[in-house]
Amino acid sequence: MTNTTLSVALLSGKGGVGKTNMSLNIACALHQMGFKTLLMDCDLGLANLDVLLGITPEGNLQTALLGEADITDVLCPIDGDGFAVLPAASGVPELTELQPDARDLLLSRLEPVLHKYDYVFMDIGAGISGTVQTFAAMASVRLVVITPEPTSLTDSYALIKVLNSRYGLRDFMVLVNQATSQAEAKSSFDKLAGACRHFLHIEPVLLGHVRLDKKLPEAVCLQKPLMVHAPGCPAAHDLQTLAARLQRIRLGMLDWLGRRNILQPVPIQE
């Protein structure tokens, strides 16, 4: 079977930048455009996609990894057919670091399921832990979520530096969240891109930005995606724009996607 599925790892150098909300709502926007979308909670220690959606899953990524359930049994359908969440567990410290044998076992169980989707989004934990790096390296593309805060920029640079030095990864897209204007988003991206260009000789690509919007915390409190709660608000329009750009990127990558697995491990560079 020729692969046409785009896997997207959503990353952040620090917590609190809205990465999980971006993962959920971009996936939701693509589903609303007619694409089949799977959203994986890859924060194995502090999962919270289930909380954002107000669902109580019977199983999760960890129970599937332990062989206590099949992957298909722990998928949670969201908003009808073609949009599902693969939840993870919180407070299970022994599963927060994904070892190579566990990674390979997980991939063998995931791969047959992933082909059913046009997009697989991986909501990965913040920071630079080994599990963050493992998941990030497997995806087709990496999307780093930042905010204009200086700490977000410095921590995201550190994340990109680690992934570049350990895995040789050079392709990164950036999403600026909580921007008050397009100018602020561009300025924030330019600072991060300038550091990457100067010190790492890497050229990140700006996917776009999402404006600061009071409708987003409302959606969180209601445990609904913003794209469902307030599809006409400014942030939702920004998310629709990002989803359309991702689809154009996917179409341009189909030949390359057909030559690789949906999730493909990358060896650590010596």
pLDDT of residue 95 exceeding 60, the answer is: no
Note whether 105 and 5 are within 8 A (CB).
no
Residue pLDDT, tens place only, 146-163: 999 999 999 999 999 999
The reported pLDDT for the residue numbered 59 is 85
Sheet strands side by side (includes 119-124): 76-77, 83-86, 37-42, 119-124, 6-11, 141-146, 173-179, 205-211
Residue pLDDT, tens place only, 217-261: 999 999 999 999 999 999 999 999 999 999 999 999 999 999 999
The reported pLDDT for the residue numbered 270 is 64
Type of residue numbered 246: L
pLDDT of residue 93 exceeding 70, the answer is: no
Residue pLDDT, tens place only, 21-76: 999 999 999 999 999 999 999 987 777 899 999 998 888 888 887 788 888 889 99
pTM of the predicted protein model: 0.95
The reported pLDDT for the residue numbered 220 is 97
Nearest of 115, 61, 109 to residue 85 by alpha carbon: 61
Note whether 144 and 160 are within 8 A (CB).
yes
Rg (CA), the chain: 17
The residues spanned by each domain of the chain are: 6-257
H helical segments located in 78-129: 100-114
Tell me the torsion sign for CA atoms 7, 8, 13, 19. Answer: negative
H helical segments located in 115-233: 130-138, 150-167, 182-195, 215-222, 226-229
Q: State in words which class domain 6-257 has.
A: alpha beta
